[in-house]
Structure formats: structure tokens, C-alpha cells
Amino acid sequence: MSTQNPIFIPGPTNIPEELRRAVDYPSIDHRSPAFAEMYKPALDGVRRILQSKEAEVILFPATGTGAWEAAVTNTLSPGDKVLAARYGMFSHRWIDLCRRHGLDVEVIETPWGEGAPADAFEQALKADTRHTIKAVLVCHNETATGVVSDIASVRRALDAARHPALLYVDGVSSIASMDFRMDEWGVDIAITGSQKGFMLPAGLAILGISPRALDAVASAKCPRCFFDFRDMLKTRATGGFPYTPPVNLIRGLSVSIGMLEAEGLPRVFDRHRRIAEGVRKAVAAWGLHLCAKRPALYSDTVSAVLVPDGFDATRIVTHAAEKYGVAFGVGLGEVAGKLFRIGHLGSMTDVMALSGIATAEMVMADLGLPVALGSGVAAAQEYYRASAGREKTAASRAAA
Ligand SMILES: *Cc1c(COP(=O)(O)O)cnc(C)c1O
């Protein structure tokens, strides 16, 4: 596969040159003050990206999956009940992880293509008069279906039921790309990783933890060692880490946050919205549909495109990789073969997106799907022409 082409999978994402240079750094003694100087700005920066004033930020050498595990094992005990909805492969995997840790997961089965069912959550919480549910788990952006959920509505469900359960949100494919308001939404644990919105290589599990969630740590009985928040916070008090920290990624994280903040978070979110909207115009021009069932559910970081019945969508991904050296995402789980995914998050511009749309058209034409070359590109071009300049593009930023 050509390394010249951008990738269009929803993580890992394209790594900008600036971040590749930032992680290319000689080893340092992580017990020296040099590490502490690198560490604190990264922690403070993540808190700002989460739009939180009070979250404790914790970084582990792991990925988003490790952050799921750290969140539940540090705050819950085997047998504890948690409430979750399954509407895609990522919400499914988090549920599975909880069960393997001996948690009792009440699952609300939700059609894939829908988002977090706030009304059903509210009913379940109201029915739980003895408050046995300790936490509600929500996947903010279901990367498998390209569906974004309304976390504020889940918070309202908890409040309407006057239920004290903690709210844990997987923001792995939303944080740093789409609006995520930890404090305003009353999120108790926010979860992400380094290789999506932060545009870095995989290797950091990133968590924001509310004071209420931290209070739950002392009584939680799930076994944990590597991921123990207590060890992390104890060693941090002296600028350290409980084991060898992934120094290069932590350094990269600070630089990534600097890039995001130089652009400005509202502009970052707007850029993702614009790019996604162009992709959606292209999908409509192809006569195809998204897996997400309604515009309010459309993700600005990944579009999951349904293919005509009887056609195996995986062929699109394989052919794009083999013939054109371009990566798209396959369908996962229940939607395997039914859709392919265009990831458009992180280091992405409308010009890059046009190349992905053009490639998808070539692939679909090669495979005999009734897609006219240029149709989706033209629809996206019209949208990008009309909306460009709403925010500074990456190119003009670099020139400034
Ligand atoms: C990518 C992703 C994960 C898993 O993250 P890993 O870093 O691969 O462990 C979890 N949740 C969502 C929504 C994701 O997109």
C-alpha cells in the first residue's frame, strides 16, 4: 500500500508531520524533572479538550480498550450492576469487557444505526428504585455505525430519575474532533485514546475522571494492578509514574493539543462537521444511504455507507487497498459486509476528503455498482466551495 495516500479508516488516523517529529525524540530519564515538565502540560491540555475544570486526567500506556477496563475496574466491584445499550461493535465490546470482569450488565438492545436510548435509560433507572445500578455506560460516537449519541439527553435521563449512578462515556472517536462537554454533561469518566482525534500513534489510554468517580475508587473491589488509579495518582504527586511512561507519546500529546488549540476547538469541530457534510452529500449523490438512521445521529468523524443488498461491502475495502493503496473501514459485527466506512477525523481537510470520495467512486465503478464517476465528488465540491473559509484551513494556518 502506498504510504503517500491518506487513510480513511476511523482510527488510527493520519499523523501530521508535526506530530511525527514530536514523537521522534531521544530517551530521557523519566525520573528526572524533564519528564515532569512534559507530563503536566499534557494532563492540563486533556482537561481543556474535555471542556472540564475539575476532571483528574490519567494516561496509561494502553489503548481505548485499556481505558474501558481502567474505568470499570477502578470504580466497581464484581457483581455490581451497570446499565448499557448495544448499538454497534464498540458498545458491544465494552459490555463484553464488563461481563468478563464479573459485572452484571443490564443491556438495552438497540437497533444498529440508532444511538443511546435516553428514554429507555430513564425507564430502567426509574425502575431501579433501590439504586442497584452503579454506572451507566454510553458510547458517544459508535464508530461501527457512524452514529453520534446525545450525551446531554442521557444526563437528563439520570437526573429525571433522580438516580445516583455514575455516567461513563466512551469518546474514543469523538473527543478532540466533536464537541464533548464533560462537566456540562455531568460525565463521570470520559475515555479516549491517542490514535483518533489526537492524531498520534496508538499507545495512550486517556481518561478524565470526575471527583465523584474518584470517590468510588476506595471501595471498588475489581482486581487491578497495572491500571490502578491509586498508584498513578500517588506517584504523580512527586511528578512520577508507577512504571516506565510512554514519554514520546506524552510529548506528542502536548504538541497535538497545541495544534488543536491553535486552530481553536470550535473550529476543529466545525472543520469535522464541514468535511463530514461533504462526504454525506457524496453518499447521497451516489444514491446510497448511511447506516445512521437520522441526520441528528450522523457522526462527523466517520460515515458508514450501506451498499445495495446482496453486494459484499468488504470487496470495496479490499479492492481500494489492493488497486489504489487507499484504506477504508470494513463493516464490523452485525453490519459486516453490509457497509463500508469512511473515516474523516483527525488530520483531515476537505481536499483530502475529496481524494477519498474520488477513490471510493473508482472502486465502486470497478466493481460494477451503478455509481457515476464524479457524481459524489461534484456534490462534495459544491458543498466545500460554498462553505470553505468558514474556518481557516490547515493550509492557510501553515502559511500564516
Ligand atoms: C477505536 C475505538 C475503541 C477501541 O479503542 P482501541 O484504541 O482500539 O482499544 C473504543 N471505542 C470506540 C468508540 C472506538 O472508536
* Pocket of ligand 1 contains residue 94 by CB under 6 Å: no
Query: Exposed, middle or buried, 13 (CB in 10 Å: 0-12/13-18/19+)?
Result: buried
Q: Which atom of ligand 1 is nearest to the CA of 195?
A: 7
Q: Which atom of ligand 1 is nearest to the CA of 63?
A: 7
| Ligand 1 center from residue 173 Cα (angstroms) | 7
Query: What is the spatial distance between Cα 187 and Cα 137, in angstroms, rounded to a whole number?
Result: 10
Q: What is the pLDDT of residue 397?
A: 55
Q: What is the pLDDT of residue 2?
A: 52
Beta strands 141-142; 189-193: pairing state: unpaired
Question: For residue 25, what is the DSSP state?
Answer: -
Helix, strand counts (H, E) of the chain:
14, 13
Query: pLDDT digit string (tens) for 343-376?
Result: 999 999 999 999 999 999 999 999 999 999 999 9
Q: DSSP secondary structure string, 354-394?
A: HHHHHHHHHHHHHTT-S--TTHHHHHHHHHHHHHTTSS--H
List the chain domain ranges: 17-261, 265-399
The CATH number given to 265-399 is 3.90.1150.10
Is there a contact between 151 and 169 (Cβ–Cβ < 8 Å)? Answer: yes
* Pocket of ligand 1 contains residue 64 by CB under 6 Å: yes
Query: pLDDT digit string (tens) for 149-190?
Result: 999 999 999 999 999 999 999 999 999 999 999 999 999 999
* Pocket of ligand 1 contains residue 88 by CB under 6 Å: no
Query: pLDDT digit string (tens) for 247-302?
Result: 999 999 999 999 999 999 999 999 999 999 999 999 999 999 999 999 999 999 99
User: What would be the CATH architecture of the domain defined by 17-261?
Assistant: 3-Layer(aba) Sandwich (3.40)
Closest-CA residue, ligand 1 atom 2, reads 172
* Pocket of ligand 1 contains residue 168 by CB under 6 Å: no
Query: What is the spatial distance between Cα 224 and Cα 48, in angstroms, rounded to a whole number?
Result: 28
Over residues 318-334, the mean pLDDT reads 97
Query: pLDDT digit string (tens) for 110-148?
Result: 999 999 999 999 999 999 999 999 999 999 999 999 999
Residue 392 has pLDDT above 80, yes or no: no
Task: For the full predicted model, state whether its pTM sits above 0.75.
Answer: yes
